[in-house]
A = this chain, B = another copy of it.
Amino acid sequence: MDGDRISAGGGKVTLQRLAVELGLSTATVSLALRDSPVVAEETRLRVQDVARARGYVANRGAASLRTARTNIIGVGLHDIINPSFTELLAALEEALSAAGKTVLLGVGQEDVTRQTRILGTLAEYRPDAFIVSPAAGTGVDDLRALAISGIAVVQVTREVEGSGFDFAGSDDVTGVSLAVSHLVALGHRRIAMIGGFDAASTGRRRLEGYQAGLAAHGLAYDPTLWASGRGTREHGRLAVEALLRLPDPPTAAVCFNDLCAFGALMGIQAAGLTAGADFSIVGYDDIGEAALWHPALTTVFTRIPEYGVAAAKLALARIADPQRPMERTVLEPHLVVRASTGPAKSAKHRAG
């Protein structure tokens, strides 16, 4: 009933097939489908109608072979359960998909070997760019290897110093020192830092911010108050418990990230103390969950969604012009005061 022109027609529907059916060349069909001005209006409409009726779906793999452009962006993160990376991924996906790009996802799990394998696989799909938050310990050469076939590389959140690739992230030194200043203003003098490790740029910078914050108020840096480690709930909890057992325990802590801080809040509660009153905690990132904790977490908003979008923009710009000078987008973080911090109790104030 619905015409013989739109018959079932067996196999896959390709440009070839459409061309034959329309009595045109593949060249014309290809141009018509992409709204080229050189093909006559009438022809264009006819082609597009038939393509739609036939359920034609372009094979972008084939097209990419010719055009050397895939519209794929390889995104390499080391963790996606951590909500801060989830929020980043969501921002990246949205910005890229709005620009007609599609995300090919690889998760490296904070392991350079695995990361190398995963990114190597992604590279086989010839993404137009990589957006990477490199695993701790990633070297300049690991990243260079990605760029070897002319793929743009953008770093996000973390960076490999001296790699020379674009970067979008937050000013971690300033961020953590804001946190420290807040605690000092509340009267705290023994302030710990929980989480962070040397192999990641974020670890180094946040430690630097911690030290800078202390120094700015004339406080000495005491290495026993730095509970180095990964940014997990587990580490946060264990670390705060260890700190509380010290002979001269701190009264407050800044954390490497919010996850750590949540763990610390749990540890404090488990020790029978009340966060905000007995011990102050500042998180880092301000993920969605932070506002919902009990007590709500005082933290530093690093503007993850914004720098996610910035990273996407950097990638698009570099794809458009591979020769452009290296660019760094570093956002200024904001302190968000909630209920997990409060005035220092009248603990004995040590000199220094």
Binding site for B on A (CB under 8 A): 12-13, 55, 57-62, 64-65, 70, 72, 80-81, 83, 86-87, 89-90, 93-94, 97, 102-107, 118, 120-126, 145, 148-150, 233, 262, 266, 269, 288-289, 292-294
Contact = CB atoms under 8 A, between A and B. Distances in A.
Contact of A125 (B102, B121, B294): B102
Please tell me how many copies of the chain the complex holds: 2
13 contacts: A13-B149, A57-B123, A59-B65, A60-B124, A65-B65, A72-B104, A80-B86, A83-B83, A97-B107, A103-B104, A233-B292, A289-B289, A293-B294
Contacts of A102: 104-106, 121-122, 125
Contacts of A150: 12
A55 B123 CA distance: 12
B89 A80 contact: yes
Contacts of A126: 59-61
Given A83-B83, A102-B125, 14 more contacts: A55-B145, A57-B149, A59-B124, A61-B64, A61-B65, A61-B70, A80-B86, A80-B89, A81-B90, A86-B86, A102-B122, A103-B105, A233-B292, A289-B289
A262 B293 CA distance: 10
Nearest to A57: B123
Chain A to chain B: the 9 pairs with minimum beta-carbon distance, closest first: A294-B294, A60-B124, A61-B61, A103-B105, A86-B86, A105-B105, A61-B64, A57-B123, A80-B90
A55 B148 contact: yes
A310 to B, nearest CB: 19
Most buried by B among A102, A120, A269, A293: A102
A191 B107 CA distance: 42
Contacts of A60: 124-126
A129 B106 CA distance: 17
A278 B150 CA distance: 62
Contact of A149 (B12, B262, B289): B12
Contacts of A292: 233, 262, 266
A78 to B, nearest CB: 12
A120 B80 contact: no
Contacts of A121: 97, 102
Contacts of A64: 61
A145 B56 CA distance: 11
Contact of A93 (B12, B59, B107, B293): B107
A157 to B, nearest CB: 17
Contacts of A122: 102
A283 to B, nearest CB: 13
A243 to B, nearest CB: 20
Nearest to A293: B294
Contacts of A148: 55, 57
B93 A86 contact: no
Contacts of A81: 86-87, 90, 288
Contact of A269 (B70, B83, B262, B294): B294
A103 B126 CA distance: 14
A146 to B, nearest CB: 10
A164 to B, nearest CB: 18
A236 to B, nearest CB: 11
A110 B57 CA distance: 23
